Structures are given as C-alpha cells and as structure tokens.
Amino acid sequence: MNIDWAALGSVFGVSLVVTVALVGLFTLGVVSLTKKESARGGTAALAVTGAYACFAACAAAVGYGIFLIVS
Amino acid sequence: MEHITLLLGIVIVTALVFDFTNGFHDTANAMATTISTGALKPKVAVAMSATLNLVGAFLSVEVAKTISGGIINEQGIRVEVIFAALVGAILWNLLTWLLGLPSSSSHALFGGLIGAAVSSAGWSAVNGSTVVTKVLIPAVAAPIVAGLAAMLATRLSYVIGSRTDDRATAKGYRAGSIASAGLVSLAHGTNDAQKTMGIITLALVTGGVIAPGSNPPTWVIVSAGLAIALGTYLGGWRIIRTLGKGLTDLAPQQGFAAQTSAAAAILASSHIGFSLSTTQVCSGAVMGAGLGRKGGVVRWSTATRMFVAWGLTLPAAGLVGAGAESLTKQGTWGTITTGVLLVAGAGVIWTLSRRRPVTVDNVNDVESESAGVVTTAIAAVIPPPAGPVVTAPAPDRNSGPTAEPTSHATV
C-alpha cells in the first residue's frame, strides 16, 4: 500500500494557510469599511484604501482559483 | 450515433440519470451555507450553481481517463457491469437524499463499480490497496483538513471583527461567501460532469461505437453538462437543509469561513493530487465553522448519522451493484428487470419523500427532531452564543410571500 503522505500533508497545509489568510484578509477589509463611517478625513481614506487592497488580494486569489480550474 | 444497441442506450440514459442525481445531491456542497445564512435566496442560489456547473462541464478538455481511478480493473469491462454499477450508485444517492444526508456521489459510484466488478469477475478485479488510499483515507482526512481550516479561520475572523457591529459586516461576509460558493460550483461541474462523460465514453468504446482513446462526442459533453445542471437547479433541498441548518447554526461570517475553506481544500486537493470528496470537504468545513465560534454547537446526532452514511456508502452501493450485476448476467430479460427495479426503487423513494417534502419554501426551517439528547444537554449548559446568530431567518427574506406562488420543484 502506498499512501502519499506528502501530498496529503501539502493539501492539509495549503488549505489551512490559504483559508486562514483569505478569511483574515477579507475580515480586515470588511472591518476597515465599517470603520470608515466612524473615522474622519485622512483616517477614513486610509481605511477605505486598506479595505480595497484587502478585497483586491482576495479577488486575485479567486482569479487564481478559476485559473486552476480552467487549466 | 449509429449502431447504438438497446443495452448501450439504457446505459447512456442511466449514466445521465446518475449525473442528474449527482447534481441535486451536491447542490448542498456549494450552496447550503449560502442559503442558510441568507446570502442568496434559495432559487437564485441553485440557479447560479446550475449555471456554473454547466459552464464547468465545458471548461475542461481533459477527459477522465479512468472512471474508477484504478480501483477496479477496467480492462475488458462489460457494458452490463457499468450499468449495474450505475444502478447501485443511483439508488444509494436517492436513499441518502431521502434521509437528507450528504454523502459522496463518487464513493457511491466506486461502490457500485466494486460490487458489480466482483460479482462479474471475482475479487481479483478490485485493487484493495487503491480502495484504502482513494476512498478510506480521504474520507477520514477530508473533514479534518477542511474542518480545522474553517475552525481556525472562523476564530480569527471573530477576533479581528470583535469590535464591529455584526449587522454592518454581515453584507460583506455574504458577498464573500457567494464568491467562494461559485468556485466550489465551478470545480464541481468540471470534475463530476467529466466523470459521467468518462462513463458514457467508456460504454461507447466498449460497445464499439467509437474508437478506443477518442474524445467524448459533443452530444455526450452537452447532455452530461445539461443533466448535472438540471439536477443542481432542482436542488436537493433535504440535503441543503441538513448541511445549512441541521449540523450547526451559522452566522454569515461562519458561512463565509466554511465556504472559503471548502473551496481552498477542493482546489488544493485536485491540484496537488490527493483527491478529497467535495461532499466530505464541505461537511467538514461546516462543522469546523460551527465549532469555531464561541458557544457554537455541532449537532453530533446529525453528524453521526452522516458519518455512518459515509461508512455505508461503499458497501451499500456495492451490494446493490453486485445484485444488479448478477441479474444482468442472465441476459436481456435480466437487464430489463434491473432497469424496471431501478425505476420502481426510485419511485418508492420519491413517494416516501412526498410524506414530508422539503421544498424551496421550508428549506431554512430548523428540524426540531434532529436535536439529540446529547445536543440538548450541551445546549443546556452552554451560555447563549454572543452576537445575533441566525437560527430562524425572517420568512420574508428567504422564502414566503416573495417566492413565486406557483408550485415548486420539491426535490
């Protein structure tokens, strides 16, 4: 019997890291967007920029996911 | 499309029926949390999933080389064996749907193939060690991988977002979970519609209609894609309810974490090459997300029933497959009898399901009876969860008067 522990380990590691990173990023984005309403001026602009940066990173990850499916 | 014998025709139709059950069995994987957290209305969710499944069916040009991935010896396999295997897989899929239990359609197909092959050619036709590496280990690993990822992600998400208003952030999480659910649907269409195309192509090759090694004809691709999309659109509401509401209660950000972990695990497994069942990944992710919230409870009675179903999938589909194969061995009348029995069995299960139908209208109602003794005891000693958890969404948001008043498909 030949169980590919290395592949299983990679699937485990990649799933864990990618999920936690993406959910973390997305949560940061969502939280920054809600902070925008309480902040003023420069802080608000910073929060919005940060939020969109987070969302862009998540969108890139989704794009890579579609690439993986198509390829 | 010439020279298609009666048997070949029956096999093609049966393969498409399996594809259809595969679709409505697995709608829940992509859309259960999206529906239960209110990210999408049920009808919109299944329509989106169906579309992406259809698109997915056309995306990949790589034809499934083997339908069983080496579990059985496919050399010289007879068309009757494929038919018997499909009968076993379809009946098990329908039975688990009746019970509202998410179980792997691929494992059901493997089980049917094993049973039919053993009945046809003896135990030497089955690769025992491949069964362990391709079915048993993934079945244990999938929920752990996706569950742990979803649990940690949920924890992190609650830590980061602890100072925000849940109502303000819910919309964002819902949007995020729609994207993740879309990825799961697309991946499903690419993988599972391919499987049916592989089966039909193999049957056509075996029947001598097309040359060995040729790509599936266009009508095979189109019909397989349509069958899985139609199944997905009808929606396996019973399983959606179990996965979305039965296992645990999910807030929007938990649904997002669960769906993202499912998408990540599915893509990682299909790309790195340790294939995990979509159903088991998604179920694990939902449970992990449920456990990740403080005070979150997984209904272990429901989860246990689901685990039992996973364990039974291979032997049960195998037994039916073996029985069907011993019938088809008898000749044409045996094959026709098997077909009649399949239709009759499906009819009985359908009739039973009408007693307590789960439809697009009551898919989000919580099943009260599913709470077992242990769950009730745990719930009694655990303080109510922090934050507004959606236990019973307002009827006007997900169903009720806004839904079409016409009769709904009640699958």
Asked if residue B403 is part of any domain, the answer here is: no
Is residue B408 in some structural domain? no
Give a yes or no: residue A68 inside a domain: yes
Whether A12 and chain B come into contact, CB under 8 Å, resolves to yes
Residue B352, in any domain of the structure: yes
A22 located within any domain: no
> Distance (Å) from the C-alpha of residue B285 to the closest C-alpha of chain A?
11
In a domain, B204, yes or no: yes
Number of domains composing chain A:
1
Q: How far apart are CA A22 and CA A19, in angstroms?
A: 5
The rounded distance, in Å, linking the Cα atoms of B32 and B283 is 10
Q: Which helix (H) or strand (E) holds B8?
A: helix B6-36
Show pLDDT as tens, one digit a residue, over chain B (411 residues).
456 788 888 899 999 999 999 998 999 988 999 999 988 999 999 999 999 999 988 887 565 666 666 777 777 678 888 899 999 999 999 999 999 999 999 889 989 989 998 998 888 888 888 888 878 888 888 889 999 999 999 999 998 888 777 777 888 888 888 999 999 998 888 888 888 888 888 888 878 888 877 788 889 989 999 999 999 998 789 999 999 888 998 888 899 999 999 999 988 888 877 778 889 999 999 999 999 988 888 899 999 999 999 999 999 999 999 999 999 888 888 888 999 999 999 999 989 988 888 887 888 876 544 444 445 555 555 544 444 444 444 444 444 444 444 444 555
- Closest CA of chain A from B100, distance in Å: 27
Q: Is A6 part of any domain?
A: no
Q: Which residues of B touch A11 (CB under 8 A)?
A: 141, 145, 265, 268-269, 272, 274, 276
Could you tell me the pTM of the whole model?
0.83
The domain containing residue B39 runs over which residues?
7-387
Q: Domain tally for chain B?
A: 1
Whether B407 maps to a domain, the answer reads no
**Is B372 domain-assigned?**
yes
Rounded to 10 degrees, the C-alpha dihedral B204/B206/B207/B208 comes to 90
The C-alpha atoms of residue B351 and residue B336 are separated, in whole angstroms, by: 22
Which structural domain range is residue A34 located in? Answer: 28-71
Using the Cβ of B141 and the Cβ atoms of chain A, whether some distance falls under 8 Å is answered with yes
Nearest-CA distance from B64 to chain A in Å?
15
B265–A20: do the CB atoms touch at under 8 Å? no
CA angle B192, B10, B221 (to 5 degrees): 35
Does any domain span residue A59?
Answer: yes
Q: Do B263 and A68 touch (CB under 8 A)?
A: no
